[in-house]
Amino acid sequence: MPVVKIKDRRQWTVDCRPLTQEKVTKILEILEKLHAVPTPKLNFETPFQLLIACILSAQCTDTLVNRITQNLFKKYPNPQDFLQLTQEALEKEIRSCNYYRTKARHILATCQILVEKFQGKVPQDRETLMQLPGVGRKCANVVLAFSMGAETIPVDTHVFRVANRLGLAKGRDPLETEEDLMKNLPKEKWVMAHPWLIDHGRRICKAQKPKCEICDLKAYCDYYAKTLKTG
Ligand code: SF4
Protein backbone atom coordinates (compact mmCIF):
# COMPACT_ATOMS: atom_id res chain seq x y z
CA MET A 1 0.00 0.00 0.00
CA PRO A 2 1.32 3.43 -0.83
CA VAL A 3 2.28 5.76 1.99
CA VAL A 4 0.11 8.89 2.24
CA LYS A 5 2.03 11.82 0.80
CA ILE A 6 -0.02 14.94 0.61
CA LYS A 7 1.95 17.69 -1.05
CA ASP A 8 -0.79 20.11 -1.95
CA ARG A 9 -4.37 19.41 -1.08
CA ARG A 10 -5.58 22.42 -3.08
CA GLN A 11 -5.17 20.45 -6.30
CA TRP A 12 -7.54 17.75 -5.01
CA THR A 13 -10.14 19.59 -3.00
CA VAL A 14 -12.81 22.00 -4.12
CA ASP A 15 -15.49 24.12 -2.54
CA CYS A 16 -18.01 21.34 -2.17
CA ARG A 17 -21.67 21.66 -2.91
CA PRO A 18 -23.90 20.42 -0.07
CA LEU A 19 -23.56 16.66 0.25
CA THR A 20 -27.01 15.10 -0.01
CA GLN A 21 -28.02 11.59 1.00
CA GLU A 22 -29.05 10.98 -2.60
CA LYS A 23 -25.59 11.90 -3.86
CA VAL A 24 -23.89 9.63 -1.30
CA THR A 25 -26.16 6.71 -2.21
CA LYS A 26 -25.59 7.20 -5.93
CA ILE A 27 -21.80 7.45 -5.59
CA LEU A 28 -21.65 4.29 -3.46
CA GLU A 29 -23.88 2.40 -5.91
CA ILE A 30 -21.63 3.34 -8.83
CA LEU A 31 -18.41 2.57 -6.93
CA GLU A 32 -19.76 -0.85 -5.97
CA LYS A 33 -20.71 -1.59 -9.57
CA LEU A 34 -17.35 -0.41 -10.93
CA HIS A 35 -15.09 -2.04 -8.35
CA ALA A 36 -16.91 -5.18 -7.26
CA VAL A 37 -13.69 -7.12 -7.92
CA PRO A 38 -10.97 -5.08 -6.25
CA THR A 39 -7.30 -5.14 -7.24
CA PRO A 40 -4.99 -7.48 -5.25
CA LYS A 41 -5.00 -7.05 -1.50
CA LEU A 42 -2.87 -8.33 1.30
CA ASN A 43 -3.32 -12.03 2.03
CA PHE A 44 -3.62 -13.07 5.67
CA GLU A 45 -5.35 -15.56 7.95
CA THR A 46 -5.00 -13.86 11.33
CA PRO A 47 -4.87 -10.28 12.67
CA PHE A 48 -1.17 -10.85 13.41
CA GLN A 49 -0.46 -11.79 9.79
CA LEU A 50 -2.31 -8.73 8.50
CA LEU A 51 -0.31 -6.56 10.89
CA ILE A 52 2.98 -7.93 9.55
CA ALA A 53 1.77 -7.65 5.93
CA CYS A 54 0.84 -3.99 6.59
CA ILE A 55 4.29 -3.22 8.01
CA LEU A 56 5.84 -4.81 4.91
CA SER A 57 3.53 -2.94 2.55
CA ALA A 58 4.94 0.56 3.17
CA GLN A 59 6.39 1.73 -0.18
CA CYS A 60 5.75 -1.73 -1.59
CA THR A 61 2.96 -3.27 -3.72
CA ASP A 62 0.42 -5.65 -2.22
CA THR A 63 1.37 -8.20 -4.90
CA LEU A 64 5.01 -8.25 -3.79
CA VAL A 65 4.04 -8.42 -0.12
CA ASN A 66 1.76 -11.39 -0.84
CA ARG A 67 4.62 -13.13 -2.64
CA ILE A 68 6.87 -12.65 0.40
CA THR A 69 4.31 -13.61 3.02
CA GLN A 70 3.14 -16.75 1.18
CA ASN A 71 6.17 -18.66 2.51
CA LEU A 72 6.96 -16.44 5.47
CA PHE A 73 3.63 -17.09 7.22
CA LYS A 74 3.87 -20.83 6.59
CA LYS A 75 7.22 -20.96 8.38
CA TYR A 76 6.46 -18.32 11.03
CA PRO A 77 2.72 -18.08 11.68
CA ASN A 78 2.82 -16.15 14.97
CA PRO A 79 4.99 -13.67 16.90
CA GLN A 80 6.72 -16.37 18.94
CA ASP A 81 7.89 -18.02 15.70
CA PHE A 82 9.24 -14.72 14.35
CA LEU A 83 11.26 -14.24 17.53
CA GLN A 84 13.25 -17.38 16.68
CA LEU A 85 14.72 -15.37 13.79
CA THR A 86 17.74 -13.11 14.01
CA GLN A 87 17.58 -9.67 12.40
CA GLU A 88 19.82 -10.95 9.58
CA ALA A 89 17.70 -14.07 8.98
CA LEU A 90 14.50 -12.01 8.76
CA GLU A 91 16.19 -9.51 6.43
CA LYS A 92 17.01 -12.43 4.14
CA GLU A 93 13.37 -13.57 4.12
CA ILE A 94 12.02 -10.12 3.15
CA ARG A 95 14.88 -8.64 1.17
CA SER A 96 12.89 -8.23 -2.06
CA CYS A 97 10.89 -5.57 -0.25
CA ASN A 98 11.89 -1.87 0.00
CA TYR A 99 13.50 -0.85 3.29
CA TYR A 100 13.80 -4.49 4.34
CA ARG A 101 16.34 -3.74 7.08
CA THR A 102 14.11 -1.21 8.82
CA LYS A 103 11.06 -3.40 8.32
CA ALA A 104 12.85 -6.44 9.78
CA ARG A 105 13.79 -4.36 12.82
CA HIS A 106 10.22 -3.11 13.24
CA ILE A 107 8.72 -6.57 12.83
CA LEU A 108 10.99 -8.14 15.46
CA ALA A 109 10.42 -5.28 17.89
CA THR A 110 6.65 -5.52 17.34
CA CYS A 111 6.70 -9.28 17.92
CA GLN A 112 8.68 -8.77 21.12
CA ILE A 113 6.08 -6.30 22.44
CA LEU A 114 3.16 -8.54 21.42
CA VAL A 115 4.68 -11.49 23.28
CA GLU A 116 5.77 -9.54 26.36
CA LYS A 117 2.74 -7.31 26.80
CA PHE A 118 -0.18 -8.89 24.97
CA GLN A 119 0.30 -12.67 25.28
CA GLY A 120 1.15 -12.82 21.58
CA LYS A 121 -2.19 -11.26 20.55
CA VAL A 122 -2.75 -8.13 18.45
CA PRO A 123 -4.28 -5.29 20.52
CA GLN A 124 -7.76 -4.24 19.46
CA ASP A 125 -7.56 -0.49 19.86
CA ARG A 126 -6.02 1.98 17.47
CA GLU A 127 -3.89 3.95 19.90
CA THR A 128 -2.14 0.83 21.24
CA LEU A 129 -1.63 -0.51 17.73
CA MET A 130 -0.06 2.78 16.66
CA GLN A 131 2.54 2.49 19.40
CA LEU A 132 3.94 -0.66 17.79
CA PRO A 133 7.10 -0.07 15.70
CA GLY A 134 6.32 0.43 12.00
CA VAL A 135 2.58 0.80 12.58
CA GLY A 136 0.95 4.09 11.52
CA ARG A 137 -2.67 5.15 11.66
CA LYS A 138 -3.56 3.67 8.27
CA CYS A 139 -1.97 0.33 9.09
CA ALA A 140 -3.77 0.26 12.45
CA ASN A 141 -7.09 1.03 10.74
CA VAL A 142 -6.58 -1.66 8.10
CA VAL A 143 -5.89 -4.24 10.80
CA LEU A 144 -8.93 -3.16 12.80
CA ALA A 145 -11.25 -2.97 9.79
CA PHE A 146 -10.28 -6.10 7.91
CA SER A 147 -9.17 -8.58 10.55
CA MET A 148 -11.29 -7.59 13.52
CA GLY A 149 -14.42 -6.25 11.85
CA ALA A 150 -13.90 -2.82 13.42
CA GLU A 151 -15.92 -0.03 11.93
CA THR A 152 -13.34 2.40 10.53
CA ILE A 153 -12.44 3.79 7.12
CA PRO A 154 -8.67 3.60 6.63
CA VAL A 155 -7.52 6.63 4.60
CA ASP A 156 -4.52 6.25 2.30
CA THR A 157 -3.43 8.55 -0.50
CA HIS A 158 -6.09 7.23 -2.94
CA VAL A 159 -8.97 7.39 -0.46
CA PHE A 160 -7.90 10.92 0.54
CA ARG A 161 -7.77 12.17 -3.05
CA VAL A 162 -10.90 10.51 -4.45
CA ALA A 163 -13.11 11.21 -1.42
CA ASN A 164 -12.20 14.89 -1.43
CA ARG A 165 -12.59 15.28 -5.18
CA LEU A 166 -16.01 13.68 -5.11
CA GLY A 167 -17.08 15.82 -2.17
CA LEU A 168 -17.62 12.87 0.19
CA ALA A 169 -15.13 14.59 2.51
CA LYS A 170 -13.52 17.99 2.96
CA GLY A 171 -10.53 16.80 4.95
CA ARG A 172 -7.27 18.70 5.06
CA ASP A 173 -5.45 15.52 6.06
CA PRO A 174 -6.14 11.76 6.38
CA LEU A 175 -7.55 12.11 9.90
CA GLU A 176 -10.07 14.80 8.94
CA THR A 177 -10.98 12.83 5.82
CA GLU A 178 -11.54 9.70 7.90
CA GLU A 179 -13.80 11.65 10.27
CA ASP A 180 -15.77 13.18 7.38
CA LEU A 181 -16.24 9.80 5.70
CA MET A 182 -17.44 8.22 8.93
CA LYS A 183 -19.91 11.09 9.33
CA ASN A 184 -21.14 11.10 5.73
CA LEU A 185 -21.26 7.42 4.72
CA PRO A 186 -23.67 4.83 6.13
CA LYS A 187 -21.95 2.56 8.66
CA GLU A 188 -22.64 -0.63 6.73
CA LYS A 189 -20.60 0.74 3.79
CA TRP A 190 -17.52 1.81 5.76
CA VAL A 191 -15.47 -1.35 5.29
CA MET A 192 -16.09 -1.68 1.54
CA ALA A 193 -15.83 2.07 0.79
CA HIS A 194 -12.10 1.73 1.48
CA PRO A 195 -11.23 -0.76 -1.33
CA TRP A 196 -13.73 0.87 -3.73
CA LEU A 197 -12.15 4.31 -3.36
CA ILE A 198 -8.65 2.84 -3.64
CA ASP A 199 -9.57 0.99 -6.84
CA HIS A 200 -11.16 4.08 -8.30
CA GLY A 201 -8.06 6.11 -7.48
CA ARG A 202 -5.72 3.53 -9.00
CA ARG A 203 -7.71 2.93 -12.18
CA ILE A 204 -9.52 6.17 -13.04
CA CYS A 205 -9.21 9.06 -10.61
CA LYS A 206 -5.44 9.26 -10.88
CA ALA A 207 -3.48 11.89 -8.97
CA GLN A 208 -2.02 13.83 -11.91
CA LYS A 209 -4.49 13.17 -14.73
CA PRO A 210 -7.88 11.91 -13.58
CA LYS A 211 -9.75 10.22 -16.44
CA CYS A 212 -12.88 12.30 -15.90
CA GLU A 213 -14.11 11.86 -19.46
CA ILE A 214 -14.62 8.12 -18.92
CA CYS A 215 -15.61 8.32 -15.25
CA ASP A 216 -19.15 7.18 -14.37
CA LEU A 217 -19.07 9.42 -11.31
CA LYS A 218 -18.64 12.72 -13.09
CA ALA A 219 -22.29 13.75 -12.73
CA TYR A 220 -21.80 13.62 -8.94
CA CYS A 221 -18.22 14.88 -8.67
CA ASP A 222 -17.41 18.31 -7.22
CA TYR A 223 -13.95 18.37 -8.77
CA TYR A 224 -15.39 17.66 -12.24
CA ALA A 225 -18.09 20.33 -11.79
CA LYS A 226 -15.43 22.85 -10.84
CA THR A 227 -13.24 21.85 -13.80
CA LEU A 228 -16.19 22.41 -16.17
CA LYS A 229 -16.85 25.81 -14.61
CA THR A 230 -13.26 26.98 -14.75
CA GLY A 231 -12.13 25.02 -17.80
S1 SF4 B 1 -15.01 12.75 -12.39
FE2 SF4 B 1 -12.76 12.93 -12.42
S3 SF4 B 1 -12.19 13.80 -10.46
FE4 SF4 B 1 -14.28 13.05 -10.27
S5 SF4 B 1 -14.07 10.98 -9.46
FE6 SF4 B 1 -14.16 10.81 -11.66
S7 SF4 B 1 -12.03 10.82 -12.34
FE8 SF4 B 1 -12.07 11.60 -10.23
Instruction: Kindly report the average pLDDT of the chain as a whole number.
Output: 88
Q: Which of 108, 123, 147 is the last residue of a domain?
A: 147
145 CB less than 6 Å from ligand 1? Answer: no
- Counting the structural domains of the chain, the total is 2
For residues 100-114, give the mean pLDDT: 98
Q: Residue 106 contacts by C-beta under 8 Å, 6 or more apart in sequence?
A: 55, 133, 134, 135
User: Per residue in 116-154, pLDDT tens?
Assistant: 999 999 998 888 999 999 999 888 878 887 777 667 788
Residue 3 belongs to some domain of the structure: no
Same structural domain for residues 95 and 169?
A: no
Answer yes or no: is 4 within a domain.
Answer: no
Q: With a cut of 50, say whether residue 8 has pLDDT above it.
A: no
Say whether 138 is catalytic.
yes
Q: Residues 167-188: what's their mean pLDDT?
A: 93
For the whole model, what pTM was predicted?
0.64
Whether 68 is in the pocket of ligand 1, judged by its Cβ within 6 Å, is no
> Does the annotation mark 156 as catalytic?
yes
Do 139 and 58 have their domain in common?
yes
pLDDT band at 1 (very low <50, low <70, confident <90, very high): very low
